[in-house]
Amino acid sequence: MEYLDSDSVRLSEDDSAVIIIDQTLLPLRTEYKYLRTAEEIFEAIKNLRVRGAPAIGICAGYGMFILSRGIISEDIKTFTEELKNIGKYLCSARPTAVNLPAAVKRMISAAERNKDLSVNELREILKITAENIHKEDIEMCRKISEYGLSLVKSGDGILTHCNAGPLATSRYGTGLGTLFLGKERGYEFHVYADETRPLLQGARLTAYELDKAGIDVTLVCDNMAASLMRSGKIQAVFVGCDRVAANGDTANKIGTSGAAIIAKHYGVPFYVFCPSTTIDFSCGSGGEIPIEFRDGGEIRTMFFKEPVAPDVKCYNPSFDVTDSELITAIVTEKGICRPPYKENLEKLFGN
């Protein structure tokens, strides 16, 4: 499909900027932003102009490269220290998605492994590393989509939460990749997209992506999932995630855990789609995953001309943790992992 042929994050031809689709403006306007400074990259990640764990990682990789071009020192040790400071700053933009610190760590490791090279040669290594992060994500998304297709059949009703398509990743996406690949192969799905409060990624982004690709999509409020499942309209729930703990607990956009509990009650399979870059074996369980809390104004005022609630305190965690016992399977580029997750994730990834 033509829609899948472009990237939501990419490097400019002259290596001077990271180019992103500004997701805060979708679906009404499609605008590209050129990020050239550390502050611009930080702001884009912090304010969700670029979002989705894999896309954030790709943005950070390219960002580290273009910012390395602004490091003046020709001393490798000084160059590497400044690169680490840049990475630390970018990582502070958002805490939950593991892809952000993982991409930064990979870029720094590439610099440290090649400390015998000149600074110019090192910059070229950083560019190649960032490009590899991007290329690998494209390939992982394709494989994840293939495995996901074995879990469903044409005609199935699928519930999604948040956004895990090409905008959040590369090309096919994770949680939505199976739907795009299925469409290419003649499958007909009936997709119900949760609006996903309070930032409406499901309404603004998932519904937009699926409709643009010609996939049958119906937008629903977050609190309609139980009604849909009880009526038999949903045969599977597809979600992406921002971090998977070693025991299979997953962090995803707030509301995911509730959808998983409802699915368990009604006997609907609940599938989490993620590349291996999102699995954090250093994190034992979901209780160790740092949860981002955002401004309460997103609940009271965002997308409204006037506040829709009085000026009271707001509780606004950006993510929740879905306990592993609620997850039917975790779909990765290396295969479909089922419980017990701690043992089977380690077997699948050779840890």
Nearby residues of 181 by Cβ (< 8 Å), 6 or more positions away: 142, 145, 146, 148, 149, 172
User: What's the confidence (pLDDT) of residue 5?
Assistant: 57
Q: What is the pLDDT averaged over residues 93-101?
A: 92
Q: How far apart are CA 246 and CA 283, in angstroms?
A: 6
**Structure-derived torsion over alpha carbons of residues 151, 154, 158, 162, reported in degrees to the nearest 10:** 80
- Tell me the whole-structure pTM to 2 decimals: 0.93
Give the pairing of strands 190-194 and 335-337.
unpaired
Q: Which two tokens stand for residue 109?
A: 């490791």
User: What's the confidence (pLDDT) of residue 246?
Assistant: 97
Closest alpha carbon to 339 in 250, 230, 265: 250
Contact predicate 45/93, CB 8 Å:
yes
Closest alpha carbon to 227 in 251, 197, 194, 254: 194
Contact predicate 52/273, CB 8 Å:
no
Catalytic pick from 137, 242, 249, 320? 242
Q: What is the pLDDT averaged over residues 35-56?
A: 96
Q: pLDDT for 132-190, tens place per residue? A: 999 999 999 999 999 999 999 999 999 999 999 999 998 899 999 999 999 999 999 99
DSSP H helices, 169-235, are 177-184, 201, 207-212, 225-230
Contact predicate 19/11, CB 8 Å:
yes
- Is 211 one of the annotated active-site residues of the chain? no
User: What's the confidence (pLDDT) of residue 7?
Assistant: 85
Q: Mean pLDDT check: name the lowest of 121-125, 271-275, 301-305.
A: 301-305
What does each C-alpha distance from 112 to 80, 122, 132, 264 come to in angstroms? Answer: 7, 9, 17, 47
Closest alpha carbon to 178 in 212, 153, 204, 207: 153
Q: pLDDT for 200-220, tens place per residue? A: 999 999 999 999 999 999 999
pLDDT band per the 50, 70, 90 thresholds, residue 28: very high
Nearby residues of 10 by Cβ (< 8 Å), 6 or more positions away: 18, 19, 62, 134
DSSP bridge partners of 219:
193
**pLDDT over 60 (residue 2):** no
Nearby residues of 206 by Cβ (< 8 Å), 6 or more positions away: 160, 162, 163, 164, 165, 176, 193, 196, 217
Count Cβ atoms below 10 Å from residue 230 Cβ, excluding itself.
12
Q: pLDDT for 276-305, tens place per residue? A: 999 999 999 999 999 999 999 999 998 888
Q: What is the pLDDT averaged over residues 308-327?
A: 96
Q: Which two tokens stand for residue 76?
A: 């490798």
Structural domains present in the chain = 2-141 (1.20.120.420), 148-349 (3.40.50.10470)
Contact predicate 150/38, CB 8 Å:
no
Give the pairing of strands 236-239 and 157-160.
parallel
